[in-house]
Amino acid sequence: MPDKSPKQRTLPRTGIKASALTFAVLTLCGLLAGCGAGTNGSAGGEVELQFSWWGNADRAAATNEAVDLFEQRHPNIEVQTSFSSYNSYIQKLATQAAGGNAPDVMQLDYRQISQYASSGLLLPLGDRPEVGTGKVGSGMLRTGQVRGTQYAIPMGRTSQVLVYDSAEWQRVGVSEPRLDWTWRDWSAAMRELNENTGQAGSTDPGWSEDWFEVWLRGRGKSLYTDSGELGFDKSDLAKFWSFTNGLSQRGAVSPARQTTQIDGSAANMPFGRGNAASGITWDSAVGGFQALIGDSLRLAPLPSGPDGTPGQYFKPSMLVGVSANSAHPEEASQLVDFLINDPEAGDVLGVSRGMPVNQDIREDITPSLSGLDERIADFQQRLEGKLLDPPSAPPSGDLALQTTFQRDYDHVGFELRTPRRMAEQFLTSVRSELQQ
C-alpha cells in the first residue's frame, strides 16, 4: 500500500468549515435579497401606447383584433400589447407600478382598484371628455369609483352562480333551483341530494369571502361599507360558518378535505371532480365546467336572504384604467373609450371579458351567441333589474384577507377550532389589514 500522509486522507477541517460558512452566507443572502425593491427604466416613444391584460389565448386573439381596428382608425397611434395569466399579471403589474412603469392602459381587478387609486397610480377618468360612459349602467359604473372619483371603467360583467348538472338532479328527483330560492331552500336541496346520491350536494361555500358576501347581502349587510369600514361583525361570520360547517359535517356539502383543495379552477372543485352535484362559482368561469360536465350543465342564482333579498350582484369581471404616469393620457383615454363603446370593437371582443357593460353592445351581440355563452347571457337576462347595486370596490387590504378567510375556515372544517373562535381571529386580521 502506498504511504499517504494523514492529511490527504480526510478533508481538511478549515476547508469544510469555510465551505459550510460560505454556503450558509450565500444562500441566506439570496433569501434576503429577494425582498428588495426593483426598478427598471423605459422611455415612451411618440404616440405609442402600452396596453396589458390578463387572460387566455382566446381573449388575446379577440383583443389584438380590436386593437388593430383601433390603430386603423388612429394611424398616428401604435399600441403595444402584452398579456399573461392572472396571478403573474397581478404581481408583474404591481412591480411595474412600484417602479413607475405601469402600462398606459391596463386591465384591473376589482380588488386592485382601491390600492392603485389611493396610491395615485390611476388617472381620474371622470373628467376625460374622450371616455363616454352613458351606456354603462350607473350601478356598474360605480364599481370603478374610489371615494367618488371614477378611476376605472368596468369592461365586462359577471355574477355569482350555482352550476349544476340538470340531468343528475332530475335523475335523483330533486327539483331544480328557482330564481328566488332562499338559503333555507338551498340547504334542504343539499340534504336531499346527499340522501339521494350519497355524495355532497354542493361545494361547501364557507371557504370563500365571495360566497359569504352573498349570504351577508341577503341579510342586508355587506363585507365593507362604502367608506371601507367593516360591514359585519363576529357573530355574522360565526353564524355563517356554523351553518356551512354543520352541512359539511353531515355530508350535505363537501367535506373539509375536499374543500381545502379548492383554488378556483374547475378541475379542483368537488363538482368538477364528480364529488358533488353542484358547484358555486362566477358565471365567467363556467366554461371550465362545461368541458367536465357537458351539455346538461345549467346555471342558477345563489340563494337569497330569509326575506327574499337577493345577495348576488353584477360584478365587473375586470376593469380598465389609465396610468397616471402615461405620457399620452388623451390617446390612452381614446383607447379605453373604444374598447367600451365602439360597436365594431364590441362585435370583435364578444363575451371574451364577460357580458359587455355597454347596454347597446350587449343587446347587439346577444342574438349571435350560442351554446354556453347563450345560457350565460340568458342567466344574466333573467336577473336583470332584480339585483341590488354592487358594493363599492373593496379596500386595499382585502386582497390579503381573501386567503386568510380560506385558511381560517380550514380550521373550522377540520374541527380544530370552533366557528366562533375562528371568526374572532379573522376579525383580528381584518382590523390589522384595514388599519394600514
Partner 1 sequence: MNVEAPDQRLSEKPRAEKPAEPAEAEGTRRKRKREGAAWVFLSPWLLGAAVLTLTPMLVSLYLSFTEYDLFTAPEWVGLDNYVHMFTEDPRYWRSAVNTLVYVLVAVPLQLAAALAAALALNSIGRGKGFYRSAFYAPSLLGASMSIALVWRALFNDGGTVDDLLSSFGVNMGGWVNQPGWALLVVALLTIWQFGAPMVIFLAGLQQIPGELYEAAEVDGAGRLRRFRSVTLPMLSPVLFFNLVLQTIQAFQVFTPAFTVSGGRGGPADSTLFYTLYLYDRGFTASHMGYASAMAWVLLVVIGIVTALLFRSSRSWVFYNDKG
Q: How far is CA 427 from CA 211, 232, 237, 422, in A?
A: 17, 10, 9, 9
- Residue 6 binding partner 1, by CB under 8 A: yes
User: CB of residue 383 vs partner 1: minimum separation in angstroms?
Assistant: 32
8 Å CB contact between 278 and 202: yes
- Residue 179 binding partner 1, by CB under 8 A: no
* C-beta of 6 vs 367, nearer to partner 1: 6
From 96, 107, 102, select the one nearest 66 (Cα to Cα). 107
**Residues 263-322 interacting with partner 1 (rule: CB under 8 A):** 263, 268, 273
- Residue 43 binding partner 1, by CB under 8 A: no
From 293, 158, 271, select the one nearest 204 (Cα to Cα). 271
Tell me, residue by residue from 394 to 433, as one string, x for binding to partner 1 by CB under 8 A and - for no binding: --xx-xx--x--xx--xx-xx-x--------x--x---xx
* C-beta of 24 vs 179, nearer to partner 1: 24
- Residue 24 binding partner 1, by CB under 8 A: yes
Q: Where are the beta strands (DSSP E) in 17-150?
A: 48-54, 78-84, 105-108, 145-146, 149-150
**Residues 92-111 interacting with partner 1 (rule: CB under 8 A):** 94-95, 97-98
- Residue 115 binding partner 1, by CB under 8 A: yes
* Of 51-59, 75-83, 91-99, 311-319: span binding partner 1 (CB under 8 A): 91-99
* C-beta of 194 vs 352, nearer to partner 1: 194
* Of 7-15, 138-146, 239-247, 345-353: span binding partner 1 (CB under 8 A): 7-15
**Phi then psi dihedrals of residue 272, to 5 deg:** -65, -30
User: CB of residue 97 vs partner 1: minimum separation in angstroms?
Assistant: 6
* C-beta of 354 vs 394, nearer to partner 1: 394
The residue type at 427: L
C-alpha cell, 84: 399573461
* C-beta of 95 vs 290, nearer to partner 1: 95
The residue type at 21: L
Q: Which residue among 56, 85, 88, 119 contacts partner 1 (CB under 8 A)?
A: 119
- Residue 29 binding partner 1, by CB under 8 A: yes
Count of residues near partner 1 by CB under 8 A: 64
Q: Where are the beta strands (DSSP E) in 148-305?
A: 149-150, 152-165, 278-282, 297-300
Residue 85: strand, helix, or coil: coil
* Of 10-18, 136-144, 278-286, 337-345: span binding partner 1 (CB under 8 A): 10-18
**Residues 222-251 interacting with partner 1 (rule: CB under 8 A):** none
C-alpha cell, 285: 368561469
Taking CB atoms within 8 Å and a gap of at least 24, the contacts of 181-187 are: 181/300, 181/301, 181/303, 181/304, 182/218, 182/303, 182/304, 182/305, 182/306, 182/308, 183/215, 183/218, 183/243, 183/303, 183/304, 183/305, 183/306, 184/303, 184/306, 185/303, 186/303, 187/243, 187/247, 187/252
8 Å CB contact between 415 and 222: no
Q: Please identify which residue in the block is written with the cell numbers 368561469.
A: 285
From 224, 258, 266, 256, select the one nearest 416 (Cα to Cα). 256
- Residue 74 binding partner 1, by CB under 8 A: no
- Residue 116 binding partner 1, by CB under 8 A: yes
User: CB of residue 250 vs partner 1: minimum separation in angstroms?
Assistant: 17
Q: Which residue among 40, 43, 72, 257 contacts partner 1 (CB under 8 A)?
A: 257
User: CB of residue 279 vs partner 1: minimum separation in angstroms?
Assistant: 17
- What count of other Cβ atoms lies within 10 Å of the Cβ of residue 57? 8
From 243, 40, 266, 54, select the one nearest 155 (Cα to Cα). 54
Q: Which residue among 1, 40, 43, 76 contacts partner 1 (CB under 8 A)?
A: 1
- Residue 377 binding partner 1, by CB under 8 A: no
Residues in contact with partner 1 by CB under 8 A are: 1, 4, 6-7, 9-13, 16-25, 27-37, 91, 94-95, 97-98, 115-116, 119, 121, 256-258, 260-261, 263, 268, 273, 396-397, 399-400, 403, 406-407, 410-411, 413-414, 416, 425, 428, 432-433, 436
